[in-house]
């Protein structure tokens, strides 16, 4: 069947071309490069967006999916070893995600032209090369057919984040933030790589989905865990080698892979890199937060959900980590002064919700929130970027105020994104967050007390979300201008406004694709996302996941209307927003944070988590390294020199030798050959 599948490889490859063009032309012929590389990037990601749209339509119109090997990276000789290859898996999940990612990358490229190019910035080709490589890596990650390929592009995403966060490398801040981002996520990826290697060792394949006769590893795991199915021989052998039962070993693998997820998706305790990553250019923040790097983590869990669905303990952990992160990050967002810092903590918090959904068995809710969040968070970051342009790169909200009249497009679109983030009816975030909490509640009531605990944490976080979101909106746009810059902001052009308007409209309406409570009220079958994910390759569909969740993880859904819980969370969000309005509206808002006392310090310092991580690096690892060095120089090398001084020349003689007695060298040089001759001679019967 010719069609979108044949061209799908071009979705990631087009941005790769724009990367190559920006690198090569940027070095050899910068003048030939239109807009410092922006145009090739826009064309490439625009092409990716069109192809993704075509692919989406193709996937929705058929039951045919694509899971093929494209390139055999490593050929293993012999039957007993497995090959390693690159391939594409194009099914409802990846088509959906490709569309989101390519949309955001395209808009970020357009926005970048307004944000970066108008500032007389040097190094634009480097910037656009980074963006191109970032888009390529993420799109290839999303379309990966196996976990090794996913890991490889996961790592490349990390590299790109390093390149772009550290874009302004002449300042000390970005260079340090880039290092931290890579290092913290690398720490997570360490566990992920062990998990990848263990998956290959255990299952002999890294495929996510069945390809022809051969099953993917999540399906093999289901076979191994389900006593009614046949245990795959390869798995049985390896379980014998490690000496564990399938449940324990798979849970270990699941936790190892989760390490990478926690790192990239900025979940507790590896979330500390994300707020620092604000040192990068704002469009890059939008890209990282909305659709690329941070999304990669939760997407990975979705991609291999069939594997996690059979492991109830791991699921509970995912839900708890997510819910805890959602609440903790929301509280830290309450006291921040910089607009981008507030958004950074909200990202951590929102991805916590997605993790909560996945752990609670709400697969669709998680994918839904991933999409709505991608849109409203990209919108908010680009809106913040517009504000930052206007404020001449001052990000402190206390220096703003009253920008509403000066920048109406930015204000109204930003408001749309904020309503979505806070989860106010009927904006996008309301529907997706509501569904997450609902799923957590029904599965919690269905006999999973830990999920119920996670639900409670998530519910409290709704209040804080409403509060910090509207604190940010009010401080930035309402009241009177508090500085001269805010009175006379720098204007922004179409290339800034266009992405804002597109995203602003989407943030308002995109939630309508999956209105579960409305379905319940009217009976109309309008939960399109549920329909969308019902289909898929064998064992990679909503139906299969529900089956595994019920049969193996023992997840039961309690009978409960979704209206009541929805009203509760809406009320909490409104309460948070209302409190923010009460505290900060008016022409001259005051900082109320001091009233929090000790809590303020704790929140402002992010629960001192950066401190302990820095301490781990500088207070523990570095001294340990220095002790090792002393030991090495003093003891090990000391013994070596001691032995040699006894046998060949004493310590004081070393100095004499160094000053150059040529005969000594000659004598030593011949030693080797003499040894050879003597050896052969004495033992070989020469004499």
* 412-431 positions binding another protein, by CB under 8 A: none
- CB nearer another protein, residue 194 or residue 551: 194
**Residue 169 — φ and ψ, nearest 5°?**
-75, -10
Position 571 contacts another protein (CB under 8 A): no
- Cβ-count burial 113-129 (b if 16+ within 10 Å, e if not): bbbbbeeeeebbbbbbb
The SS3 of residue 552 is coil
> Minimum distance from CB of 263 to another protein (Å)?
11
Position 660 contacts another protein (CB under 8 A): yes
- The residues in 598-617 that bind another protein, with binding defined as CB under 8 A, are 617
- The residues in 78-97 that bind another protein, with binding defined as CB under 8 A, are 78, 80-81, 84
Position 666 contacts another protein (CB under 8 A): no
- The residues in 317-356 that bind another protein, with binding defined as CB under 8 A, are none
The one segment of 11-19, 66-74, 213-221, 455-463 that binds another protein by CB under 8 A:
66-74
Position 276 contacts another protein (CB under 8 A): no
> Minimum distance from CB of 251 to another protein (Å)?
14
- CB nearer another protein, residue 244 or residue 518: 244
Q: Which of 10, 35, 117, 179 binds another protein (CB under 8 A)?
A: 179
> Minimum distance from CB of 190 to another protein (Å)?
5
> Minimum distance from CB of 146 to another protein (Å)?
13
**Residue 287 — φ and ψ, nearest 5°?**
-65, -45
- The residues in 468-487 that bind another protein, with binding defined as CB under 8 A, are none
Position 683 contacts another protein (CB under 8 A): yes
Position 29 contacts another protein (CB under 8 A): no
Position 653 contacts another protein (CB under 8 A): no
Residue count, binding to another protein (CB under 8 A): 77
The SS3 of residue 251 is helix
What's the angle, vertex CA 300, arms to CA 419 and CA 179, rounded to 5? 80
Position 43 contacts another protein (CB under 8 A): no
> Minimum distance from CB of 621 to another protein (Å)?
7
> Minimum distance from CB of 157 to another protein (Å)?
10
DSSP class of 267 = -
* Contact present, 191 and 257 (Cβ < 8 Å): yes
Position 197 contacts another protein (CB under 8 A): yes
Q: Which of 13, 50, 175, 563 binds another protein (CB under 8 A)?
A: 175
Binding mask 203-242 for another protein (x = CB under 8 A): -----------------------------------x--xx
Residue in 480, 323, 304, 342 with CA at minimum distance from that of residue 403: 480
* Contact present, 566 and 455 (Cβ < 8 Å): no
CA distance 401 to 486: 7
* Contact present, 191 and 197 (Cβ < 8 Å): no
- CB nearer another protein, residue 171 or residue 601: 171
Position 498 contacts another protein (CB under 8 A): no
The one segment of 431-439, 571-579, 591-599, 626-634 that binds another protein by CB under 8 A:
626-634
DSSP class of 553 = S
Position 620 contacts another protein (CB under 8 A): no
The one segment of 222-230, 420-428, 576-584, 654-662 that binds another protein by CB under 8 A:
654-662
- The residues in 515-544 that bind another protein, with binding defined as CB under 8 A, are none
> Minimum distance from CB of 657 to another protein (Å)?
6
CA distance 360 to 96: 22
Element containing residue 367 per DSSP (H, E) = helix 363-390
Whole-number Cα distances in Å, 416 to 242, 410, 429, 505, 634 = 53, 10, 10, 8, 65
- CB nearer another protein, residue 524 or residue 657: 657
Beta bridge partners of 88: 68, 144
Position 651 contacts another protein (CB under 8 A): no
DSSP class of 68 = E
> Minimum distance from CB of 572 to another protein (Å)?
40
**Residue 2 — φ and ψ, nearest 5°?**
-75, 155
The one segment of 12-20, 149-157, 220-228, 382-390 that binds another protein by CB under 8 A:
149-157
Q: 668 burial class (0-12, 13-18, 19+ CB within 10 angstroms)?
A: exposed
CA distance 350 to 340: 15
- Which residues are CB-contacts of 329 (< 8 A; sequence separation ≥ 6)? 268, 271, 345, 346, 347, 348, 349, 352
DSSP class of 227 = T
Position 186 contacts another protein (CB under 8 A): yes
Position 155 contacts another protein (CB under 8 A): yes
Q: What is the DSSP string of 406-452?
A: H-HHHHHHHHHHHHHHHT-TTSHHHHHHHHHHHHHHHHHHTT-HHHH
- Which residues are CB-contacts of 431 (< 8 A; sequence separation ≥ 6)? 368, 372, 511, 512, 514, 515, 516
- CB nearer another protein, residue 571 or residue 680: 680
> Minimum distance from CB of 182 to another protein (Å)?
6
Position 172 contacts another protein (CB under 8 A): yes
């Amino acid at each position: 069947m010719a069609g979108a599948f044949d061209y799908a490889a071009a979705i990631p490859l087009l941005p790769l071309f724009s990367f190559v063009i920006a690198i090569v032309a940027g070095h050899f012929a910068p003048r030939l490069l239109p807009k410092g590389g922006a145009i090739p990037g826009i064309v490439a990601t625009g092409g990716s967006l069109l192809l993704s749209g075509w692919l989406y339509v193709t996937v929705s119109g058929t039951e045919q999916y694509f899971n093929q090997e494209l390139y055999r990276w490593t050929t293993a000789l012999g039957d007993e070893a497995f090959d390693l290859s690159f391939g594409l898996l194009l099914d409802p999940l990846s088509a959906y995600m490709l569309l989101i990612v390519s949309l955001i990358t395209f808009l970020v490229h357009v926005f970048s032209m307004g944000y970066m190019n108008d500032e007389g910035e040097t190094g634009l080709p480097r910037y656009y090369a980074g963006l191109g490589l970032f888009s390529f890596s993420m799109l290839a990650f999303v379309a990966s057919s196996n976990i090794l390929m996913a890991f490889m592009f996961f790592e490349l995403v990390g590299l790109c984040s390093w390149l772009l966060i550290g874009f302004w490398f002449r300042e000390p801040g970005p260079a340090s933030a880039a290092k931290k981002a890579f290092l913290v996520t690398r720490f997570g990826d360490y566990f992920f790589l062990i998990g990848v290697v263990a998956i290959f060792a255990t299952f002999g394949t890294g495929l996510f989905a069945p390809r022809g006769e051969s099953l993917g590893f999540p399906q093999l795991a289901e076979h191994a865990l389900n006593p009614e199915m046949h245990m795959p021989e390869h798995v049985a052998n390896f379980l014998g080698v490690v000496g564990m039962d399938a449940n324990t070993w798979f849970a270990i693998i699941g936790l190892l892979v989760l390490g990478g997820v926690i790192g990239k998706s900025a979940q507790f305790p590896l979330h500390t890199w994300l707020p620092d990553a604000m040192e990068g250019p704002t469009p890059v923040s939008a890209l990282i937060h909305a659709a690329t790097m941070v999304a990669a983590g939760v997407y990975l869990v979705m991609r291999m959900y069939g594997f996690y669905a059979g492991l109830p303990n791991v699921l509970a952990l995912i839900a708890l980590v997510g819910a805890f992160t959602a609440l903790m990050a929301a509280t830290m967002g309450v006291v921040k002064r910089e607009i981008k810092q507030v958004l950074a903590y909200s990202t951590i918090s929102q991805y916590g919700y997605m993790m909560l959904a996945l752990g609670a068995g709400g697969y669709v809710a998680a994918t839904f929130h991933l999409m709505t969040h991608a849109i409203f968070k990209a919108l908010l970051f680009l809106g913040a970027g517009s504000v930052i342009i206007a404020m001449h790169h001052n990000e402190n909200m206390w220096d703003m105020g009253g920008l509403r009249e000066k920048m109406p497009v930015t204000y109204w679109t930003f408001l749309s994104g904020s309503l979505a983030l806070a989860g106010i009816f009927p904006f996008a975030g309301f529907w997706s967050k509501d569904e997450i909490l609902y799923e957590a509640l029904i599965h919690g009531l269905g006999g999973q007390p830990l999920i119920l605990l996670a639900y409670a944490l998530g519910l409290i976080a709704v209040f804080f979300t409403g509060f910090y979101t509207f604190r940010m909106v009010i401080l930035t746009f309402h009241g009177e201008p508090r500085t001269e810059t805010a009175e006379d902001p720098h204007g922004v052009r179409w290339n800034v406004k266009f992405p804002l308007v597109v995203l602003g409209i989407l943030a308002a309406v995109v939630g309508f694709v999956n209105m579960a409570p409305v379905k319940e009220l009217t009976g109309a079958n309008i939960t399109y996302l549920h329909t969308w994910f019902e289909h898929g390759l064998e064992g990679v569909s909503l139906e299969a996941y529900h089956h595994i969740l019920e049969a193996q993880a023992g997840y039961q859904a309690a009978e409960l209307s979704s209206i009541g819980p929805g009203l509760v969370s809406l009320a909490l969000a409104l309460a948070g927003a209302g409190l923010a309005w009460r505290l900060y509206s008016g022409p001259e808002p005051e900082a109320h944070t001091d009233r929090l006392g000790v809590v303020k310090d704790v929140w402002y310092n992010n629960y001192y988590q950066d401190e302990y991580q820095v301490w781990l690096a500088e207070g523990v690892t570095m001294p340990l390294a220095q002790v090792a060095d002393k030991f090495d120089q003093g003891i090990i090398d000391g013994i070596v020199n001691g032995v040699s001084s006894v046998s060949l020349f004493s310590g004081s003689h070393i100095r004499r030798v160094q000053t150059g007695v040529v005969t000594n060298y000659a004598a030593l040089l011949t030693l080797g050959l003499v040894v050879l001759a003597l050896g052969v001679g004495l033992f070989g019967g020469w004499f």
